[in-house]
Homo-oligomer: A and B are copies of this chain.
């Protein structure tokens, strides 16, 4: 708790708010007088809410100018409002939402920003040069892990322009209900991940040979087309990018591994010829996510990310925000931002799909919040959602990307994904993301080997403690050392540096990489 002569720092998000949050690193003590005249009746931890006026039982608690709940008991001015004192509002009826739109006028274009990227034959641009071993079924993972180790040791040193070798292991492909309607989600996710710009169209697929998910479904169409073209022109003999372990050509494990190494070498040679070239910032496809959120997420890191998102959109680039359960309770603020009534309806449809999905499992969107969120000062999913959507910035929402689909339009997209960190990351990779920004308040050692992840802390306590795990500190916004615009610009510049390969993110420097996690709303068998 603060020493008597420490100045109270509090943050109010909107003039209509009847609460502020405490920004002093050690919290504030009972008796402390706030600038606007309220005297604290309780000790209030960092990030937690204080009542600015007496709130009668059943009256509204307002933050971000929105009702985040109803007082379960009379709350006196100056009291610490913890989550047990607030009843969560009911979910807004989707059927009552309007699809009338009032999108923001186009933001002024931002010119002259570029990064050094790898331009691909299909027009996309990579920020890394990675050999990916896609897999059509879970059971080959032991073999691909083994082979990746061998490729890294024996082959990679000879291909200095290739950054990494990655097995796209997952738990799908067999033992699953592949004809269930919802199976489309994991299947197109795997199909589209193979097309991620960082793999340069040189993905190889390791299959077994008896799986339900046919390996041919995982090769990018372009790769098949190029294969045919090359054959016609007879300029090059391109081997099949698919290798099945049950192939009768392989006598034992040793021959399988040799076969994979040989195929890997072919693709490494191709990838090694890729070089970085100057590309406009409009080629950025940035995924945005938050995880381990606290009350500062919506005050510091997410607003700064929203500012950077606007910069990317102004530069002609593509940005995705996601996490359906963190959008559901702020959906009324988003539909009007859609480019067209069709996009507004698509937003509502995704909320509706998820409501049904959750209710089949006998839960609702309130299943989202974590103990960490609450310790961090977030009362419920409504408050969390309001802080989460701020990262979308202010521009018009041009399109809605369903789970596992590829992004189609430049500008701000809503990519509908679960909030679950690695599921969201996996789906954003499938959407074509070439860089991710991840904001965190509690701290998570998040990392992906397929695309760089910039981790932004929402508070200084975390960025100080995790000095080697956090890439950018947005906590300076709460202390007044920097503005949202300052940190937004810093982040934008950092994105260009990382996309150019000039700066390594913490996760890549430490080699912290998590596996893909597929979203499979269909049953297993």
A: residues with CB less than 8 A from B are: 138-143, 145-146, 169, 171, 174-182, 208-212, 214, 245-246, 248, 250-254, 291-292, 325, 357-358, 360-363, 365, 367-368, 370-373, 375-376, 418-424, 442-447, 465-469, 506-507, 510-515, 517, 519, 521-525
Say whether A141 contacts B525, CB under 8 Å: no
Question: What are 26 pairs between A and B in contact, CB < 8 Å?
Answer: A138-B514, A139-B292, A139-B444, A142-B445, A142-B513, A169-B515, A175-B419, A180-B361, A180-B363, A180-B367, A208-B442, A208-B443, A210-B292, A210-B372, A210-B373, A210-B376, A211-B371, A211-B372, A246-B442, A252-B468, A253-B469, A253-B510, A361-B521, A361-B522, A367-B523, A521-B523
Cα separation A78 to B175 with both chains bound (whole Å): 34
Say whether B443 contacts A179, CB under 8 Å: no
Contacts A142-B512, A142-B514 aside, 10 further interface pairs with beta carbons under 8 A come to: A142-B513, A175-B420, A176-B367, A209-B372, A252-B468, A253-B445, A358-B525, A360-B360, A363-B523, A365-B525
* CB-defined contacts of A469 to chain B, threshold 8 Å: 252-253
Say whether B419 contacts A361, CB under 8 Å: no
Tell me which of B143, B180, B245, B524 contacts A519 (CB under 8 A). Answer: B524
Say whether A142 contacts B367, CB under 8 Å: no
Tell me which of B171, B211, B291 contacts A370 (CB under 8 A). Answer: B211
Say whether B174 contacts A139, CB under 8 Å: no
Say whether A250 contacts B465, CB under 8 Å: yes
Cα separation A362 to B177 with both chains bound (whole Å): 9
Say whether B522 contacts A363, CB under 8 Å: yes
Tell me which of B208, B254, B467, B507 contacts A251 (CB under 8 A). Answer: B467
A462 nearest CB neighbor, chain B only: B246
Say whether A174 contacts B251, CB under 8 Å: no
Tell me which of B357, B375, B421, B468 contacts A175 (CB under 8 A). Answer: B421
* CB-defined contacts of A422 to chain B, threshold 8 Å: 138-139, 171, 175
Give chain B nearest CB distance to A455 CB in angstroms.
12
* CB-defined contacts of A375 to chain B, threshold 8 Å: 210
Give chain B nearest CB distance to A267 CB in angstroms.
22
Tell me which of B146, B209, B444, B446 contacts A442 (CB under 8 A). Answer: B209
Tell me which of B371, B420, B517 contacts A525 (CB under 8 A). Answer: B420
Tell me which of B181, B361, B517 contacts A362 (CB under 8 A). Answer: B181
A182 nearest CB neighbor, chain B only: B361
Say whether A524 contacts B423, CB under 8 Å: yes
Check A139/B421 contact, CB under 8 A, given A146-B512, A211-B371, A370-B212.
yes
Check A367/B178 contact, CB under 8 A, given A467-B252, A468-B253, A522-B361.
yes
Closest 3 CB pairs of A and B: A210-B372, A175-B420, A142-B512
* CB-defined contacts of A370 to chain B, threshold 8 Å: 174, 210-212
* CB-defined contacts of A252 to chain B, threshold 8 Å: 465-469
Cα separation A519 to B251 with both chains bound (whole Å): 34
Say whether B465 contacts A251, CB under 8 Å: yes
Cα separation A373 to B211 with both chains bound (whole Å): 9
A373 nearest CB neighbor, chain B only: B210
Cα separation A246 to B141 with both chains bound (whole Å): 30
Say whether A361 contacts B517, CB under 8 Å: no
* CB-defined contacts of A418 to chain B, threshold 8 Å: 175, 524-525
* CB-defined contacts of A254 to chain B, threshold 8 Å: 468
Cα separation A161 to B283 with both chains bound (whole Å): 54
Cα separation A514 to B135 with both chains bound (whole Å): 13
Give chain B nearest CB distance to A360 CB in angstroms.
6
Say whether A363 contacts B177, CB under 8 Å: yes
Say whether A139 contacts B291, CB under 8 Å: yes
A461 nearest CB neighbor, chain B only: B248
Check A442/B177 contact, CB under 8 A, given A252-B468, A510-B253, A523-B367.
no
* CB-defined contacts of A362 to chain B, threshold 8 Å: 180-181
Check A512/B143 contact, CB under 8 A, given A180-B363, A208-B292, A210-B375.
yes
A465 nearest CB neighbor, chain B only: B251
Cα separation A370 to B212 with both chains bound (whole Å): 5
Say whether B525 contacts A368, CB under 8 Å: yes
* CB-defined contacts of A210 to chain B, threshold 8 Å: 292, 370-373, 375-376, 442
Cα separation A517 to B517 with both chains bound (whole Å): 11
Tell me which of B146, B365, B447, B506 contacts A510 (CB under 8 A). Answer: B146
